[in-house]
Every structure is written in structure tokens, then in C-alpha cells.
Amino acid sequence: MIPASLCVKCKGRLWCQLSSCPIIEKFEVRQKSLVQIKNNKFEGSSPPGVFVSWTGYPNVSIAPVAPPVISEKNAFLDNPEEWFGLPSNEIVAMRSQLISSRRRARVADAANPSRDLSLIQELALSLKPVEAEFSLKSAPRQFLSFHESTAPTGPSAELDRMKLHENPKIPSKADYLSSDTAVKSNTAVRELYEDGLPVHYLYKILSAGTLGVGKNRKLVPTRWSITAIDDNVSKYLVEEFVKSFPQVGEFELYRESYLGNHFFVLLCPGTWSFEMLECWLPGASWALFADRSEVNVISDFEGYNGRTKYADNVTGAYYSARLAIAEHLVKKKRLATAIVFREISHEYTVPLGVWVIRETVRKALEKKPLSFSDLKLALEYVGFRMTVPLDKYLMASKLLPNLKFQKKITDWV
């Protein structure tokens, strides 16, 4: 049997050297389709949605996603920033309506797209649903797939041809930057975010290869583009704004729970640094094979100058939480050392994507915080509310020992 501690760290990346992940296989579900498609053709309003696979990279599949229903309400089906509060079974049922019409491509094809790829890129750039017609080479494969980074994906089939029945509604700023082949993708992403475009829109257009210097444009697997957007935008907010603000005056503690994910966000007086601590309890999605003796706390952190390597332990959740915190600090015009505690219970049996982390932390930070005069009191409160003893988190943390024991010059003033 695979050690549960490895599953918590690996999260489907096959560090176990198996050919496929047994946990992912457990979640992949075949079901009878809720829709009828005649002659392998259907018409529907794409939310808009585009999914790019990662298997076989740099040979991937890019798929416009759409239900066989024409409706402006379809936008909700691919907008995780509006899903907070929905039960997991409703999210899964909703996502199972979306049919992925796959087309094989090389990632470099984005630099010189074919007609079909250009249509998919136009669809991705739209801010509102686009009515389209899809002809498939076979009946959709009735399959639900789950991954820790992305929202569940539904039935799929190879695309024969696609036709848009209306012009995509592309925001003027996105239209300009997608047409400008001299602007780097990082710069374009930050300008679009400042223009008020939502995160889920940004990762879709990055994934479809619509941004960046022309000759370097590439299709980006969706699971990577989500993390790239969270990372890029949060770095920008921290460097350009957060580090210049005055520090928070007290220890502020925020709390929120959703789908068996229990979050405590602690903002401490100090210069910018960030840490995320995770504990997957037995029965949670990446600890299905764990027993009560296997409780592991994993962590990733950064100091004032940020990270130089990918957060391999917490993975994409790290960057999603960091974005939510950076947004909050910019809104409040404050600087802080931020620590996120995430305890995942057996209620979170199906991975639904890192949007769960981003949106839950966002919701937590909208609430009025509990204020504490010192770190000890704040940690005592957190320890009282969590299932796993606080000592396990303290042992895994890199920032908390410094906060507890490091003296500041003001201590002698």
C-alpha cells in the first residue's frame, strides 16, 4: 500500500512511480449522460471555457467546453469565483454537463495558430457565453475526471469541426493585448488584472496561448496556468503595493470553513513573509489510505524576498491562498507576516480544484477578525479550534518559531 504521507505530498504527480494514481482513479467516475447528442453534433453556449491537458506535453489537447444548451446562464458553469457555498455534489453535477471537444496540438502552435485553433482562442477571450456548433468524431466518452488543481472535467470527444454562431464579446483591453505580439505575458496579465478582469478569465486566456511575445506564445496546460496566474498576480501585488504599506497593529485572526476545509488566517505585525501549513486528516481526498496514526502537516513558506522554487509540498494551494491575502492587504493598505492554517477533514473526499482555497480564504478575509495583543494568545485560540494538536503545526512551521522567539529592537525601547 502507498504511504498516505506520500499521497499528501504527491497529489497525483506519480512520485510513487506507478503508471497511474490510484486516488485519482478512485475519483474518476463513469456515468450515464444527462444529455442527448444526435449524430455526434450539438449546439450550445460555451461559458466560455477552454481546457488544455498536460499529459503528453508538449503534445497536448485543447478543448472548448460547452453544454448542449444555449443560455447566457452557462457562464456560471465555468466561473469558480461564484461557486463558494455550493455543495460538492452540485458542483460535480454542474461540471458533468460540460462536454470537452478535444483537438490535438503542439504547445508551440499558439504562435502560428490554425483556423480552428484561432476560433478556440477567440472563444477563450470572450467575457460572455458564445453560441457555437460542435461536430464530434464520436460520441462523448462518459467520464468525470478530478484533479487537485482544476475543477472537475466532464464528458469528452475528439472535435471534428467547430463553428461560432456569434461574435465573441472580448474586453477591449484583452483584445488589444492579445493583438500586441511585443508585450510579455507577465506584463499583459498584470495589466488585465488591474483592468478588473477576474482570475478565472486570466488563466483561460493564458492557457489558450493568446498572450505574450508572438514567436514565444504557447498553449499552457490549465493546471499550470491557474498556478501561474495566482503566482504572477500575487507577486505583483506584494512587490508593488504591500511592502510599502504600514504594518498591521495587532495579531488578526480570520476563520472560514467550506466543504470540510477549515482555514485560519493569521496576520502578524512584521515585514512581508508568508507560510501555508496543511494537514490532511484520514479520509480526506489525498489521505484516503491513511489511518489515525498517519497525520502529517506539510508546509511551504517565503521570506521578504519571496520564493525561488515551486512550492512542492502545498503545491497550487499555496499560490491561491497567497493571492487572496495579497488582495486583502492591498485593499486594507497594510503590511503583515501572513500564516495560513488549513485542516482538511474527511468531508473533503473529492478534489475540486484550488479555487476552493482561493475563494475560502477570500471569504475569511471579508469577515471581521479576532484581534490579539500577542502571538501566544492567537495560537492558543487556533489550537483550541483545530483537530490536530497545535504542536504538530509548530514543528512543521518555519515562520512561527521566528515570530515566537525572535527579539526586535523595539523590545528594548
What CATH number is associated with residue 114?
A: 2.40.50
Helix (H) or strand (E) run with residue 49 in it: strand 49-52
Digit-coded pLDDT (tens) for 24-33:
666 666 655 4
Q: Does residue 22 lie within any of the structural domains?
A: no
Same-domain status, 371 and 328: yes
On whether residue 225 sits in a domain, the answer given is yes
Position 101 in a domain? yes
**DSSP 8-state class, residue 248:** P
Between 148 and 369, the more confident residue is 369
The domain boundary residue, chosen from 146, 164, 182: 164
pLDDT tens by residue, 188-237: 999 999 999 999 999 999 999 999 999 999 999 999 999 999 999 999 99
Choosing from 235, 255, 284, the residue where a domain stops is 235
User: DSSP secondary-structure letter at 169?
Assistant: -
Type and span of the H or E element at 222:
helix 222-240
pLDDT of res. 350: 86
pLDDT of 30: 62
pTM: 0.92
Residue 3 in any domain: the answer is no
Same domain (yes/no): 155, 84: yes
In angstroms, what is the C-alpha Rg of the chain? Answer: 22
Check residue 165 and give its pLDDT: 96
Q: How confident is the model at residue 36 (pLDDT cuts 50, 70, 90)?
A: low
Percent of the chain clearing pLDDT 90 (strictly above): 79
Let me know if residue 12 belongs to a domain.
Answer: no
Q: Is residue 35 scored above 80 in pLDDT?
A: no
Domain boundary residue, one of 208, 235, 262: 235
Residue 327 covered by a domain: yes
Is there a single domain that holds both residue 201 and residue 110? no
Residue-wise pLDDT for 50-100, tens only, equals 999 998 999 999 999 999 999 999 999 999 999 999 999 999 999 999 999
Is residue 9 one of the residues assigned to a domain? no
Q: How far apart are CA 329 and CA 111, in angstroms?
A: 37
Same domain, 364 and 268: yes
How many Å apart are CA 125 and CA 116, to the nearest integer?
A: 15
- Residue 3 has a pLDDT of 61
The total of structural domains in the chain comes to 3
Give me the domain span that covers residue 252.
242-406
Same domain, 95 and 52: yes
Is the confidence at residue 45, as pLDDT, over 50?
A: yes
Q: Indicate whether 412 pLDDT > 50.
A: no
Pair 281, 377 in one domain: yes
Q: What are phi and psi of 188, to 5 degrees?
A: -60, -45
Same domain, 197 and 142: no
8 A C-beta contact, residue 211 and residue 188: yes
Q: Is the pLDDT of residue 286 over 80?
A: no
8 A C-beta contact, residue 205 and residue 193: no
Residues 142 and 180 in one domain: no
pLDDT digits (tens, 9 = 90+) for 340-360: 999 999 899 888 999 999 999
Residues 156 and 180 in one domain: no
Q: Does 349 share its domain with 395?
A: yes
Kindly state whether residue 205 falls inside one of the protein's structural domains: yes
Q: What is the mean pLDDT of the chain?
A: 91
| Dihedral in degrees, nearest 10, Cα atoms 152, 44, 218, 193 | -80
Residues 152 and 54 placed together within one structural domain of the fold: yes
Cα separation, 189 vs 185, in Å, equals: 6
Q: Do 362 and 330 reside in the same domain of the chain?
A: yes
